[in-house]
């Protein structure tokens, strides 16, 4: 036989996730922290990794790390579960709360992985698009949808702040949502260190609340793959049924323990990202034709004419931003991750050059 039977039908029409990571001088496309872990912490990482028995399986639940995170959040260990990046826990959410005959409520435009996971698990999706001008959640429609038993919504994900649009969700709304349904409500707080807002205070009162977080952004560990959820032990137990037993390897566990113990050392870089974000926003607002959207996170989404051409112009100058110009509900937008101040300057200057060229050519309108 030199043929293989067709793959599962739900794969038809699906495309593998493509981060569109291309070689560049300034990587401003993936919402990473522009600074790597500092040398002192790096030395501690090296030492911790040095002592690991590589021939032994890791602790399946990464209990040392779990304990550190539990303690920092004023919880017991059984309220915490580690994953191979937040991505794994997102997939586990669809496995455990989705499936045929159940429904995922999606709030696009948002992180595209949610919808892909639903499709992979044969979970029907109901979309309630965000409001077109502000990307705010259509709160009344969402509350109505979850309250209608005919929809059979079994889980939803509220991203706060929302990737790629930038703003956090209103906590009052999330609380209303938690009260309106017993569907699982995941609040994706991958970027909460930049927004300074968490649903953690409400965890004990709501068995249906799951908080997702990651080490990939504020803690500079995108290359290591560590994420976690906080949730009621009854919910964590269900996740444990679907998770890959050894998904969090020993090396990643050791690195994440060192980084988490040193988490206060990341605070200045977080503050710097927040202030650079405000500078980027102000400069973009002052650039003709550019309409930036406010952000509580470590990036800025902006709309402009000829966005695809602008993406190419930036890339030709070594600056990689994320092109959403032809993505549904995001037409004409690019997303720039906050980089170092030098990278942000290079980005702003290359973008201004593009705008000036267009203005000179007379083909560029001013934003109203
Ligand atoms: N949630 C959101 C909103 C994200 O943007 C990302 C990363 N792009 C993740 C979760 C997952 O991050 P990771 O797998 O690196 O922890």
Q: How far is the CA of 266 from the centre of ligand 1 (A)?
A: 19
- Give the model's pLDDT for residue 1: 85
Instruction: Please give the Cα distance from 93 to 130 (Å, whole number).
Output: 22
Query: Across-strand partners of 300?
Result: 336
Q: How far is the CA of 4 from the centre of ligand 1 (A)?
A: 34
Q: How far is the CA of 353 from the centre of ligand 1 (A)?
A: 32
Atom of ligand 1 nearest to the CA of 83: 16
Instruction: Please give the Cα distance from 157 to 137 (Å, whole number).
Output: 12
Beta strands across the sheet bearing 26-28:
26-28, 319-323, 333-337, 299-303, 291-292
Q: How far is the CA of 86 from the centre of ligand 1 (A)?
A: 5
Q: Which helix (H) or strand (E) holds 65?
A: helix 63-72
Atom of ligand 1 nearest to the CA of 90: 10
- Give the model's pLDDT for residue 170: 98
**pLDDT above 90 as % of the chain:** 93
Reduced to 3 DSSP states, what percent helix, strand and coil does the chain have, rounded to the nearest 5?
A: 40, 15, 45
Pocket test for ligand 1, best of 84, 85, 106, 296 (most atoms within 8 A of CB): 85
E strands in 24-148: 26-28, 80-83, 103-106, 125-127
**pLDDT above 70 as % of the chain:** 98
Query: Of all protein residues, whose CA lies closest to atom 12 belonging to ligand 1?
Result: 86
Q: What is the pLDDT of residues 307-317, one digit of tens each?
A: 999 999 999 99
Q: How far is the CA of 105 from the centre of ligand 1 (A)?
A: 18
Please give the C-alpha separations between residue 319 and each of 56, 101, 315, 337, 342, in angstroms, as whole numbers: 42, 45, 5, 11, 12
CB-facing half-sphere around the CA of 90: CA atoms within 13 A: 24
- Give the model's pLDDT for residue 208: 98
Instruction: Please give the Cα distance from 104 to 115 (Å, whole number).
Output: 8
Query: Of all protein residues, whose CA lies closest to atom 2 belonging to ligand 1?
Result: 190
Q: How far is the CA of 161 from the centre of ligand 1 (A)?
A: 11
Q: How far is the CA of 284 from the centre of ligand 1 (A)?
A: 25
* Distance from the first to the final alpha carbon of the chain: 63
Instruction: Please give the Cα distance from 226 to 241 (Å, whole number).
Output: 19
**pLDDT for 352 beyond 70:** yes
Atom of ligand 1 nearest to the CA of 227: 16
Instruction: Please give the Cα distance from 175 to 202 (Å, whole number).
Output: 8
Least-confidence region, from 131-135, 339-343, 359-363: 359-363
How buried is 159 (Cβ within 10 angstroms: 0-12 exposed, 13-18 middle, 19+ buried)?
buried
**pLDDT for 224 beyond 70:** yes
- Count other Cβ atoms within 10 Å, centred on residue 30: 16
Rounded mean pLDDT of the chain? 96
What mean pLDDT comes out for the span 169-182? Answer: 98
Q: What is the pLDDT of residues 229-267, one digit of tens each?
A: 999 999 999 999 999 999 999 999 999 999 999 999 999
Q: What is the pLDDT of residues 267-295, one digit of tens each?
A: 999 999 999 999 999 999 999 999 999 99
Q: What is the pLDDT of residues 58-108, one digit of tens each?
A: 999 999 999 999 999 999 999 999 999 999 999 999 999 999 999 999 999
Measured from CB, residues less than 6 Å from any atom of ligand 1 are: 31, 85-87, 111, 159, 163, 188, 190, 214, 216, 222, 227
- Give the model's pLDDT for residue 367: 44
Q: Which two tokens stand for residue 50?
A: 């040095």
Pocket test for ligand 1, best of 107, 190, 247 (most atoms within 8 A of CB): 190
**pLDDT for 362 beyond 90:** no
Pairing between strand 153-159 and 184-188? parallel
Pocket test for ligand 1, best of 31, 82, 86 (most atoms within 8 A of CB): 86
What mean pLDDT comes out for the span 24-49? Answer: 97
What mean pLDDT comes out for the span 46-59? Answer: 96
* Under 8 Å between Cβ of 359 and 288: yes
Pocket test for ligand 1, best of 19, 30, 87, 115 (most atoms within 8 A of CB): 87
**pLDDT for 364 beyond 70:** no
Atom of ligand 1 nearest to the CA of 111: 3
Phi and psi for 187 in degrees, rounded to 5? Answer: -105, 110
- Give the model's pLDDT for residue 19: 83
Atom of ligand 1 nearest to the CA of 226: 16
Could you tell me the pLDDT band of residue 17, with boundaries at 50, 70 and 90?
confident
Q: How far is the CA of 87 from the centre of ligand 1 (A)?
A: 6
Instruction: Please give the Cα distance from 68 to 261 (Å, whole number).
Output: 8
- Give the model's pLDDT for residue 368: 42
* Under 8 Å between Cβ of 306 and 15: no
Pocket test for ligand 1, best of 186, 213, 216, 295 (most atoms within 8 A of CB): 216
Query: Of all protein residues, whose CA lies closest to atom 6 belonging to ligand 1?
Result: 190
Could you tell me the pLDDT band of residue 363, with boundaries at 50, 70 and 90?
low
**pLDDT for 366 beyond 60:** no
Q: Using H for helix, E for strand and C for coil, what is the string for 287-319?
A: CCCCEECCCCCCEEEEECCCHHHHHHHHHHCCE
pTM of this structure = 0.96
Instruction: Please give the Cα distance from 292 to 314 (Å, whole number).
Output: 17
- Give the model's pLDDT for residue 21: 86
């Amino acid at each position: 036989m030199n043929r293989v039977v067709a793959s599962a039908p739900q794969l038809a029409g699906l495309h593998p996730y493509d981060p569109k990571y291309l070689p560049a001088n300034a990587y401003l496309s993936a919402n990473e922290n522009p600074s790597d872990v500092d040398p002192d912490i790096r030395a501690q990482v090296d030492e911790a990794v040095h002592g690991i028995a590589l021939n032994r399986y890791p602790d399946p639940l990464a209990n040392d790390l779990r304990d550190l995170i539990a303690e920092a959040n004023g919880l017991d260990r059984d309220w915490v579960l580690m994953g191979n990046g937040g991505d794994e826990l997102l997939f586990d959410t669809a496995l455990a709360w989705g499936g045929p005959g159940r429904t995922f409520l999606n709030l696009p435009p948002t992180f595209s992985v949610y919808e892909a996971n639903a499709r992979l698990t044969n979970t029907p999706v109901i979309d309630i698009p965000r409001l077109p001008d502000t990307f705010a959640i259509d709160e009344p429609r969402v509350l109505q949808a979850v309250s209608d038993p005919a929809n059979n919504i079994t889980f939803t994900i509220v991203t706060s702040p929302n990737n790629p649009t930038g703003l956090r969700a209103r906590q009052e709304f999330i609380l209303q949502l938690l009260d309106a349904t017993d569907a699982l409500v995941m609040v994706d707080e991958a970027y909460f260190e930049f927004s300074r807002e968490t649903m953690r205070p409400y965890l004990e009162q709501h068995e249906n609340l799951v908080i997702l977080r990651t080490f990939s952004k504020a803690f500079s560990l995108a290359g290591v793959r560590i994420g976690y959820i906080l949730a009621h032990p009854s919910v964590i137990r269900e996740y444990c049924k679907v998770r890959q037993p050894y998904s969090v390897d020993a090396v990643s566990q050791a690195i994440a323990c060192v980084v988490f113990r040193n988490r206060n050392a990341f605070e200045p870089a977080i503050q710097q990202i927040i202030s650079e974000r405000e500078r980027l926003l102000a400069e973009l607002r002052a650039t003709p034709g550019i309409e930036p959207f406010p952000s509580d996170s470590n990036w800025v989404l902006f709309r402009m004419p000829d966005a695809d051409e602008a993406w190419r112009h930036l890339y030709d100058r070594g600056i990689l931003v994320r092109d959403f110009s032809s993505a549904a509900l995001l037409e004409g937008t690019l997303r720039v991750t906050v980089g170092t101040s030098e990278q942000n300057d290079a980005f702003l200057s290359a973008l201004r050059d593009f705008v000036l060229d267009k203005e000179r050519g007379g083909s560029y309108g001013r934003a109203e």
